[in-house]
């Protein structure tokens, strides 16, 4: 009987759904700010939309992608450095936008997407520099056919999305 219970426990453990973890990090830089997104799991994500939403950040932040508009001094357009093949298309980011949607074709396990862009704080005296404290509270959202999961960026400008179930 004890052997049967152990076998059943092992089967239940093995049958539990995998959990995907998507890690996002904002890195302040000059002249370009950087976002690093890592699929830190054994799960492959497909047909998803990853959104970075600045509207809930502690400071009024915008993406500054042109020399005209709401930005402060220096601007930088969206530029993908790593993981372009994981995207269905390049996102459209207009000057002054507060949100980026990355349409994921597929996002393999333990892979990354890295992009640069300029972000500005529209009320600070140092508008071209965005501190971790100012970025805190911004949201990361992952929309899948099964639903939406979200996480707030912390005081170190990092967010972790826990995604139940996945393609392996």
Structure confidence by residue, pLDDT tens digits, 68-81: 766 566 789 999 99
Q: What is the pTM of this model?
A: 0.84
Output the CA torsion 153→83→77→136 (10° steps): 0
- pLDDT in single tens digits along all 168 residues of the chain: 444 434 433 333 344 456 789 999 999 887 899 999 999 999 899 999 999 999 999 989 989 898 876 656 678 999 999 999 999 999 999 999 999 999 999 999 999 999 999 988 877 555 456 767 889 999 999 999 889 999 999 999 999 999 877 655
Choices 1.10.287, 2.40.50, 2.70.50, 2.60.40: CATH for 18-164: 2.60.40
Instruction: Look at residue 9 in the predicted model and tell me its pLDDT.
Output: 37
Beta strands (DSSP E) in 69-135 are 79-82, 99-107, 112-117, 119-121
- Domain map of the chain by residue range? 18-164
């Amino acid at each position: 009987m004890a052997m049967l219970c152990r076998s059943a426990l092992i089967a239940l453990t093995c049958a539990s759904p995998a959990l995907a973890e998507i890690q996002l990090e904002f890195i302040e830089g000059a002249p370009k700010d950087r976002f690093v997104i890592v699929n830190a799991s054994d799960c492959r994500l497909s047909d998803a939309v990853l959104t970075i939403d600045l509207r809930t950040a502690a400071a009024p932040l915008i993406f500054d992608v042109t020399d005209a508009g709401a930005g402060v001094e220096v601007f930088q357009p969206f530029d993908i450095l790593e993981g372009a093949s994981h995207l269905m298309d390049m996102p459209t980011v207009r000057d002054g936008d507060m949100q980026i949607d990355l349409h994921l074709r597929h996002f393999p396990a333990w892979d990354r997407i890295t992009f640069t862009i300029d972000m500005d704080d529209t009320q600070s005296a140092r508008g071209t520099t965005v501190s971790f404290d100012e970025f805190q509270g911004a949201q990361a959202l992952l929309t899948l056919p099964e639903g939406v999961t979200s996480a707030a960026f912390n005081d170190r400008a990092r967010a972790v999305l826990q995604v139940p179930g996945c393609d392996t």
